[in-house]
Amino acid sequence: MIKVLRITIRVRSQEEALCFYTEKLGFEKRADSPMGPDHRWVTVASKDDPLLELVLQPSEWFECEERQRHADLVGKDPTIVFQVDDCRAIYEKLSALGVEFTAPPTSQPYGIEADGLDLYGNTLVFLQLAS
């Protein structure tokens, strides 16, 4: 059996990403520890999921050309799909908190989906599965 353990999100600032995911999406901080003298390992996760964590990975972890390659990818990956119980209610709540949406809740054969963006432009899909 293979399970997803972590998803790495490329960010410009761990601190502002941490605020977005905890204050707007309601995630909890799971890890915030030193990684060498100048870096931090920061993860966030849904309070209801004991395993899956999002790693907030800043460009400053890298050197020279690799740093620029990383910075160029901020906001261009990944798409994260969050399962929700009530897509319309989540849409209203997050919109009120300033989360940008590219598509409002829309009925699809597989459920109700609303597409949003995090503060860097990564796609966040909020999906209420069809019953």
Predicted pLDDT of residue 1: 63
pLDDT at 42: 96
Residue 78 pLDDT: 79
CB atoms within 10 A of CB 27: 20
pLDDT at 35: 86
pLDDT of residue 37: 84
Residue ranges of domains in the chain, CATH in brackets: 1-76 (3.10.180.10), 79-131 (3.10.180.10)
In eight-state DSSP terms, residue 27 is -
Separation CA 57–CA 83 (nearest Å): 23
β-pairing, 39-45 vs 28-35, is antiparallel
State residue 3's pLDDT score.
Answer: 73
Count of CB atoms within 10 A of residue 93's CB? 14
Query: Model pTM greater than 0.75?
Result: yes
Query: Could you tell me if 113 and 125 are in contact, meaning their C-beta atoms sit under 8 angstroms apart?
Result: yes
Residue ranges in the chain modelled with pLDDT below 70 = 1-2
